[in-house]
Amino acid sequence: MKEILGQKIGMTRVFMETGEAVPVTVIQAGPCPVVARRTVEKDGYEAYQVGFGSRKKQRVTKPRAGQFGKAGVEPTRYLREIKFTEAEFEVGSRITVDAFKAGDRVDVTGTSRGLGFQGGMKRHNFQGANKTHGQSDRWRAPGSIGQSSYPSRVFKGLKMAGRMGKERVTVLNLEVVKVIESENLMLVKGSVPGHRGALLKVRTTNRAIR
């Protein structure tokens, strides 16, 4: 397994040799300095604690600054744990986008855009009601939400209006179209969750190609 942290830059398209236009998401993947290493003997599992993004030293707490100083790396904005089984890295080294190549299949995890309070039609893709039988003001209403005599309450989890988005989402089995090592960029086919500048985690998928 290979993993790396990245930042969503935006979407564009690339033209293949056949002339096909492919929509892609541009991700700035790495470089991710290795801050610590988790081992089975000490922590009970294998992982790397890596950073991503830059941060001013005066914006870092003293314990966190000591952690970065011990590893010999500059302070970073994000600090996450990832798994990387195809190579070994020492504390202080960096994981870069050259670990991936065009044609790889990856899963991309991020936080979806927060859309605030939304109605049932937008939040749950309801169809809405027809303008028939004398009704003219219920086009976007969710309809009946329960029964009157029994059980005389609304069941938990019923699809209704509410806050939409800002959830952890993983898009599976995307194709890496291109890797630009000199600029730490990865072009992934299709869309990924999050707004521009959102933190993403990219890992090799274990799903079969369909």
Q: Is the pLDDT of residue 145 over 90?
A: no
CATH number of the CATH domain containing 105? 2.40.30.10
- Same domain for 38 and 87, yes or no, is yes
pLDDT tier, 136 (very low <50, low <70, confident <90, very high otherwise):
confident
3-state SS class at 86: coil
- pLDDT tens digits, one per residue of 47-103: 999 999 888 888 989 999 998 999 888 999 999 999 988 888 888 899 999 999 998
Residues composing the chain: 210
- Same domain for 83 and 107, yes or no, is no
- Same domain for 5 and 71, yes or no, is no
- Same domain for 52 and 11, yes or no, is no
Q: Give me the DSSP letters along 21-75.
A: EEEEEEEEE--EEEEEEE-HHHHSS-EEEEEEEE--GGGS-HHHHHHHHHHT---
Q: Number of structural domains, the chain?
A: 2
Quote the distance between the C-alpha of residue 146 and its chain's center: 36
Report how far apart, in Å, the C-alpha atoms of 61 and of each of 24, 65, 74 are.
37, 6, 13
- Same domain for 101 and 89, yes or no, is no
Give the domain-ending residue among 95, 110, 135. 95
Report yes or no on 7 lying in a domain: yes
- Same domain for 171 and 114, yes or no, is yes
Report yes or no on 117 lying in a domain: yes
Report yes or no on 69 lying in a domain: yes
Please tell me the distance from the alpha carbon of residue 153 to that of residue 185, in angstroms, as a whole number. 52
Please tell me the distance from the alpha carbon of residue 16 to that of residue 25, in angstroms, as a whole number. 15
Write the CB contacts of 41 (distance below 8 Å, at least 6 apart in sequence): none
- pLDDT tens digits, one per residue of 185-203: 999 999 999 999 999 999 9
The predicted model scores a pTM of 0.83
The domain in which residue 46 lies consists of 31-95
